[in-house]
């Protein structure tokens, strides 16, 4: 245990740097908070407090927990804004779009042509060729409702 008694602020800062490198290779914002705790512990050890290695580990543990809690709270309150909010949610981009049924909806299920693919649709019973509007998405099924067609008067 003689090695542990010689822990200095440089050891904590090197540990913090290694944790930052780990964060780069394994992103997930876990190692970042531990790196902050190691850096703060290094600064604390630099102060003339005469901390033993046990106290240094205690400081590290407390600061790690606090920084992780504060960090998760901060990130959850400031979500990352993106210019592609529906990325990996392909069906969401079709909400509001009007389609024509290629297969009648019977027993709640049918099909509609969407661009170059055919999607399964769910909605009220309708015949082939009926015009529908996508109102929601359930997995790979588009939820549709009938669009009232204007009647032509002669």
The CATH 2.40.50.140 domain(s) of the chain lie at 92-146
- Which three-class secondary structure state does DSSP give residue 100? strand
CB 91 within 8 A of CB 82: no
Q: For 33-84, write each residue's pLDDT tens digit.
A: 999 999 999 999 988 888 888 999 999 999 999 999 998 898 888 877 777 7
- pTM over 0.75, yes/no: no
142 pLDDT higher than 90: yes
Q: State the pLDDT at residue 26.
A: 86
DSSP notation for 33-57 = HHHHHHHHHHHHHHSTT---HHHHH
CATH of domain 92-146: 2.40.50.140
* Separation in Å, CA 54 to CA 1, 34, 41, 84: 11, 17, 12, 48
């Amino acid at each position: 245990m003689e090695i542990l008694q010689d822990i200095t602020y440089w050891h904590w800062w090197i540990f913090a740097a290694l944790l930052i490198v780990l964060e780069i290779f394994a992103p997930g914002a876990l190692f970042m908070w531990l790196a902050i705790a190691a850096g703060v512990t290094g600064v604390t050890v630099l102060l003339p407090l005469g901390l033993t290695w046990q106290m240094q580990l205690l400081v590290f543990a407390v600061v790690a927990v606090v920084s992780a809690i504060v960090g998760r709270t901060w990130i959850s309150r400031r979500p990352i804004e993106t210019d592609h909010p529906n990325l990996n949610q392909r069906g969401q981009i079709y909400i509001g779009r009007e389609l024509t049924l290629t297969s009648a909806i019977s027993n709640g299920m049918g099909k509609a042509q969407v661009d170059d693919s055919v999607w399964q649709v769910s909605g009220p019973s309708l015949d082939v060729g009926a015009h529908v509007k996508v109102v929601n998405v359930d997995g790979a099924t588009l939820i549709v409702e009938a669009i009232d067609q204007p009647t032509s008067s002669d």
